[in-house]
Amino acid sequence: MGIRSDLPLHAWALVAAAKREWRVARRYPDVFIGAVAWPVVTPVVFVFQARASMGHGTPHRSGQTIPTDSVHLAVFLYLGWLVASWLALLLTESSASLSGQRVQGSLETTLLSPATRLTLLFGLAPVLLVTGALSYIAVLLALVLGFGAHIALSSALAGGLVILLAGPTLAAIAAAAGTTTLFMRRSGGLVDIARALSVTFCGFTAPLAIMPTWAAKIGRLLPPTWTVDTLRDTIFGGPSKTDWPRLSLLLIGTFLVISALSLAAFAAGEQRGRRSGTLGGV
Amino acid sequence: MVSRVVLLSLRKDFRNVVGSPIAVLNMTALNPLYRLILPSYLLATAFLYHGRAVGLAQSTGSVDFQGFIFVGAFMNILMVGAIIGTSAVIGFERGSGTLEQAWTTPSSRVATAVPFAVSALALSAIGAFTCLLLGVAAFGVRLRWTTVFAIPAVLIGVAGMVGVCYLVMALLLRMGQARAVLDGGGFFLGLLSGNIFPVTVLPGPLRVISSALPSTYAIDLLRHFALGSWPLLSVRWEYPLEAVCSAGLLGLGVFAFVRAERFVSTTGRLGQF
């Protein structure tokens, strides 16, 4: 069965998988509630910490690297943590989805089907993209209503476009992390390491400028860093601050590369599982 | 009798832990590391002036931002661990169908629940000490020898945490599952106790709630003795105040637990979830 000749069928399978995941998500709405609540509530601790770290107006390094007035500081921290919590949700849920199917015994059944493995890797993605959009709206409302931030409608819409563009790439990263479920009995530890690395290198709560050069170089290579940087530039400076063609090219290119690698890794994991008879092992 | 039950239960829970050490280490130490410590460490670094936390010194009297974060995180792990640990231990007993059997022991119900609280606190203590050791080894945390004077403050704070464990058990007995409430509770307990910042920056109403929590004084006294930061009140007053708050929280927890236990006993919902 060639991938080209059966493209409509594969697309149909992908839509069906997305529909299934959407139905499941609607049954357990806590994922949506969490997507709205946590990105709004969690950054408060960092806002308080930043206020304490600023002291009483002594000159400090933050003037060059991080906003110093309270509203801009809140916007900086909230947008950073929005991407951090969204990526965390994507990583955790993608991995949990595959592990869940394995525990329930439905993974082996699904793998009997000739449908593209993209259904397993990206079936949950639309639900998680919706959670990202909800988080973004909740964060904007919190910034405007809670901190008195003035965010122009054009900036807010452009920020939404950044979320829309970055979503598939971040979902592809999460899918890649999810494939480890086929190689390890419990992939939770690896997902946690990925979360720790992203928090360290992607500048969610601090600008890359404060990091050692080597760490900043690594950070600049990572899509979550592009996402959070662009989001901050767009919200602070308006849509014209963003090089849209370059960003689109980068994100779409990365999405395609990571997706292809994830599919290859999934195929290798599936083959290994079939040979050793451990595909459904928990 | 109670101490024997506690020891046996503790041994059973630690056997379970030995079976999945990475998962427990992950839950108790690594999770707080990347959710709280690393982001706040990086944020604090952004405010350094010539390598010194001058702003923090103006707010707290200490330039040791690493110590400030890790000491707060130490108590935060104990607090959140007590909540999540109690939930995990109760969930495990319920899931395996042994909760009702534990209830049939001849000791009082309040005493029966002690092992759950002790196990949760012991597991979170492992995570808290692991994190503190990591701070000393990798993040340049240096604690003064006077830290030993804060041990009573930590112990009094832990007694208050037993009250939190009872509150969690009461909630779980009534609601069956309460993950979102517990996650939120752990977060707000840390926030109101000043886990990564001094509570002096909290707005008025939150400051009032904060001053009723024993964990606020435990963190403050620990920071004062370990790092030399300014205490919220005179140490002479802070210790008794912490003890009073701790006793109040413990009493509240036991009261809520007794009520919840009576509720599940009369409705027959002990093992349901």
What pLDDT score does A226 carry? Answer: 92
Highest mean pLDDT among A1-5, B44-48, B71-75 belongs to B71-75
> What angle (nearest 5°) sits at the alpha carbon of residue B63, between those of residues B62 and B66?
105
Cβ neighbours of residue A231 closer than 8 Å, sequence gap 6 or more:
A79, A82, A83, A159, A162, A163
Residue B236 lies in a domain: yes
Among A47, A48, A184, the strongest candidate for a mutation testing the B interface, having the largest count of B CBs within 10 A, is A48
Of A149, A7, A176, the C-alpha closest to A90 is A176
Distance separating alpha carbons of residues B134 and B38, to the nearest angstrom: 12
In a domain, B272, yes or no: no
| Interatomic CA distance for residues A243 and B211, integer angstroms | 49
Which segments in chain A show pLDDT lower than 70?
1-5, 57-64, 185-189, 279-282
Domain that holds residue B259: 2-267
Of A2-16, A262-276, B37-51, B212-226, the one with minimum mean pLDDT is A2-16
Candidates A32, A41, A42, A45: best to mutate against B (most CBs of B within 10 A) is A45
Q: Which residues of B touch A77 (CB under 8 A)?
A: 43
Is residue B72 within 8 A of residue B196, CB to CB? The reply is yes
Q: What are phi and psi of B128, to 5 degrees?
A: -65, -45
Q: Indicate the residue of A49, A52, A196 with minimum beta-carbon distance to B38.
A: A196
Q: How distant is the Cα of A18 from the closest Cα of chain B, in angstroms?
A: 26
Give the minimum alpha-carbon distance from B104 to chain A in angstroms, rounded to a whole number.
33
Q: Test B45 with A206 for CB contact under 8 angstroms.
A: yes
State the virtual CA torsion across A104, A106, A107, A109 in degrees, nearest 10.
Answer: 150
- Helix H or strand E encompassing A110: helix A106-112
Report the alpha-carbon distance of residue A84 to residue A204 in Å, rounded.
6
In terms of C-beta density within 10 A (0-12 exposed, 13-18 middle, 19 or more buried), how is residue A36 classed? middle
Beta carbons of B46 and A65 less than 8 Å apart: yes
B44 assigned to some structural domain = yes
Structure tokens at B35: 């959710």
Amino acid at A178: G
Is the confidence at residue B248, as pLDDT, over 80? yes
Q: Per the structure block, which two tokens stand in for A252?
A: 């779409």
Q: What is the CA radius of gyration of chain B?
A: 19
Measured between beta carbons, the chain B residues lying within 8 angstroms of A219 are none
- The answer to whether A267 contacts chain B (CB < 8 Å) is no
Count residue pairs from A and B with Cβ separation < 8 A: 124
State the ipTM, two decimals.
0.85
* A141 phi and psi angles, rounded to 5 deg: -65, -40
Q: Closest partner residue to B42 among A186, A192, A205, by Cβ?
A: A205
Q: Which residues of B touch A50 (CB under 8 A)?
A: 43, 47
pLDDT attached to residue A5: 64
- Residue A74: what pLDDT? 93
Residue B18 has pLDDT above 80, yes or no: no
B55 in any annotated domain: yes
B273 falls within a domain: no
What is the C-alpha to C-alpha distance for residues A228 and A248, in angstroms, rounded to an integer? 14
HSE value, Cβ hemisphere, 13 Å, CA-based, for A231: 29
Contact A49 B36 (CB under 8 A): no
Query: What are the beta bridge partners of residue B49?
Result: B52
**DSSP per-residue string spanning B76-138:** HHHHHHHHHHHHHHHHHHHHTT-HHHHHTSSS-HHHHHHHHHHHHHHHHHHHHHHHHHHHHHH
Q: Which of B122, B128, B103, B102 is nearest to B16 (CA)?
A: B122
The string of pLDDT tens digits covering residues B83-130 is 877 777 777 777 777 777 777 767 677 776 777 778 778 888 888 898
Does the residue B155 lie in any domain? yes
The pLDDT value given to residue A282: 52
Instruction: Let me know: does B239 contact B143? Beta carbons within 8 Å.
Output: no
Residue with tokens 């604090």: B44
Q: State yes or no: pLDDT of B271 exceeds 70.
A: no
Residue type, A181: T
B138 touches chain A (CB under 8 A): no
8 Å CB contact between B31 and B77: no
CA-to-CA distance for B148 and B226, rounded, in angstroms? 8
Using CA coordinates, name the residue in chain A closest to B60. Answer: A52
A51 near B CB under 8 A:
yes
B54 touches chain A (CB under 8 A): yes
Q: What is the DSSP letter of B201?
A: G
Residue B40 · residue B50 · CB < 8 Å: no
Report how many domains make up chain B: 1
Cross-chain residue pair B47–A60, CB shorter than 8 Å: yes
**Confidence at residue A1, expressed as pLDDT on a 0 to 100 scale:** 47
B59 domain-assigned: yes
Task: Answer whether B55 sits within 8 Å of A55, measured CB to CB.
Answer: yes
Q: Do B197 and A204 touch (CB under 8 A)?
A: no
pLDDT tens for each residue of B148-191: 999 999 999 988 988 888 888 888 888 776 777 788 888 899 99
Asked if B47 lies within 8 A of A50 by C-beta distance, the reply is yes
B49 in contact with chain A, both atoms CB, cutoff 8 A: yes
Among candidate residues B41, B262, B250, the one with its CA nearest the CA of residue B155? B250
Residues in chain A: 282
